[in-house]
Amino acid sequence: MVSGLGYDFPPFRPPSEAESILLRATRGCPWNKCAFCVMYKGMRFSRRPLEDIKRDIVAARGIFGLRPTMFIGDSNSLVMKTEELLDVLRFAREVFPGLRRITSYARAKTILRKPLEDLVALREAGLTRLHVGLETGDDHLLKYMCKGITASEMAEAGRKAMEAGFELTEYVILGLGGKDRWERHASETANVLNKINPTFIRVRTLVPIPGTPLHERVVSGEFKVSSPLEVLKETRLLIERLKVSSWFLSDHVSNYLPVNGKLPDEKEDLLNFLGIHIDILESDPELGRTLLQPEHLRQRL
C-alpha cells in the first residue's frame, strides 16, 4: 500500500512486529501458490528499486520515529540479491542507529538456495530474525497445500537458518490436516521441529478463506475442517512429541486458546492447560465452547 506520503507500507506483518518500523523491500509473494493463503493473491511479485527503498528508510524516521525494531516486507525479502539486501540493512542501521532487531519473512526454499556465508553476512549486517512458514511437517499435506517443498527440505532450511545465527520462528497451522490427518500432521510436524529446534514455534489455526483452493475443497466436501476439540487434541499431541528448547506461542487471533510457554520447562503446564479444556469440551461441549476464542473473532484475519 502506497500512502499519501508516497511511503510504501507492507500490507502484512507478524503480530510481534506491531511496534516496529515497517519497510517494504519487495511486493507480493514470489511463490503465491499455497492452497490456504490469500495474503498476496492478485498482486504480482516485484522488487522495489534500491533508491525507492532508501527513500522510504529516510521517510520512516518521520513516520515512525526512532524505534529499536524494524520489519522488512513483503513475504520473502530474502529473495533479494544478497548485496542489495545488505545495502538496505546497512543504510537502515545508519539512519536508525539504535536498531537492535530487523525481521523478515523468509521462504524455506530461498534459505536453502542462499549460501550459508550470505546468510551469516545478512545476520551480521543486522537482519537478526526470520519467520518461516513450515505449516506442517507432513509431506502429503505439504504437497496437497502446494507449499512447493518437502519436509526434509523444511528441516534442512531451518537448521541452516539456526546455524547462521538467526532467531528463527517456524509457523505451524493447527488444523491443516483436517479431520482425516490431524494425528499425522501433529506427529510429522513435531519431527521436523525437533530437527530444527527453532527459537520460536508460533501456531495459527486454520480458517479456510473464500477464494482459496482450500476453501473450494471444503465446500466440495473433499477437505473436512477439524472441530475445536480435534484442534486441541492435535495441539496436545504436537506438544507431547516436541523435544525442543523453543518458545511455543499462540500469538494469533485465529487460535482457540492462549497456549504459550517455554519448552521443555513449561511443557507439563501447557499439556495440563490443554487437558483441562479437552476434558470440559468432552463432558460439557456448551460450557467448553464458551472458554474458547469465539468463531467471529477467529475469522477476523
Q: How far apart are CA 84 and CA 100, in angstroms?
A: 20
Shortest separation between residue 112's beta carbon and ligand SF4, angstroms: 14
With beta carbons less than 8 A apart as the criterion, state whether 225 and 208 touch: yes
Phi, psi of 281 (to 5 degrees): -60, -35
Closer residue to ligand SF4, CB minimum distance, 272 or 299: 299
Shortest separation between residue 135's beta carbon and ligand SF4, angstroms: 7
Closer residue to ligand SF4, CB minimum distance, 150 or 227: 150
Stretch of 25-33, 48-56, 182-190, 275-283 contacting ligand SF4, by CB under 6 A: 25-33
Q: Which of 39, 120, 225, 280 binds ligand SF4 (CB under 6 A)?
A: 39
- Considering only residues 96 through 155, tell me which ones interact with ligand SF4, judged by CB under 6 A: 107, 133
Considering the rule CB under 6 A, would residue 29 count as an interface residue with ligand SF4?
Answer: yes
Considering the rule CB under 6 A, would residue 214 count as an interface residue with ligand SF4?
Answer: no
Considering the rule CB under 6 A, would residue 212 count as an interface residue with ligand SF4?
Answer: no
- Considering only residues 236 through 255, tell me which ones interact with ligand SF4, judged by CB under 6 A: none
Q: Which of 26, 69, 75, 169 binds ligand SF4 (CB under 6 A)?
A: 75
Q: Which of 21, 37, 142, 201 binds ligand SF4 (CB under 6 A)?
A: 37
Shortest separation between residue 111's beta carbon and ligand SF4, angstroms: 12
With beta carbons less than 8 A apart as the criterion, state whether 211 and 218 touch: no
Stretch of 36-44, 64-72, 233-241, 264-272 contacting ligand SF4, by CB under 6 A: 36-44
Q: What is the CB neighbour count within 10 angstroms for residue 42? A: 8
Shortest separation between residue 148's beta carbon and ligand SF4, angstroms: 8
Q: How many residues bind ligand SF4 (CB under 6 A)?
A: 11
Stretch of 31-39, 123-131, 243-251, 265-273 contacting ligand SF4, by CB under 6 A: 31-39
177: Cβ–Cβ under 8 A, 6 or more apart, which residues? 136, 138, 141, 183, 184, 185, 186, 226, 234
Shortest separation between residue 178's beta carbon and ligand SF4, angstroms: 17
Considering the rule CB under 6 A, would residue 171 count as an interface residue with ligand SF4?
Answer: no
Written as nine digits, the cell of 154 is: 523444511
Written as nine digits, the cell of 81 is: 540479491
Tell how strand 247-249 and strand 261-262 pair up.
antiparallel
Shortest separation between residue 134's beta carbon and ligand SF4, angstroms: 11
Q: Which of 31, 200, 248, 256 binds ligand SF4 (CB under 6 A)?
A: 31
Q: Which of 21, 22, 34, 214 binds ligand SF4 (CB under 6 A)?
A: 34
Closer residue to ligand SF4, CB minimum distance, 37 or 281: 37
Q: What type of residue is 176?
A: L
Considering the rule CB under 6 A, would residue 40 count as an interface residue with ligand SF4?
Answer: yes
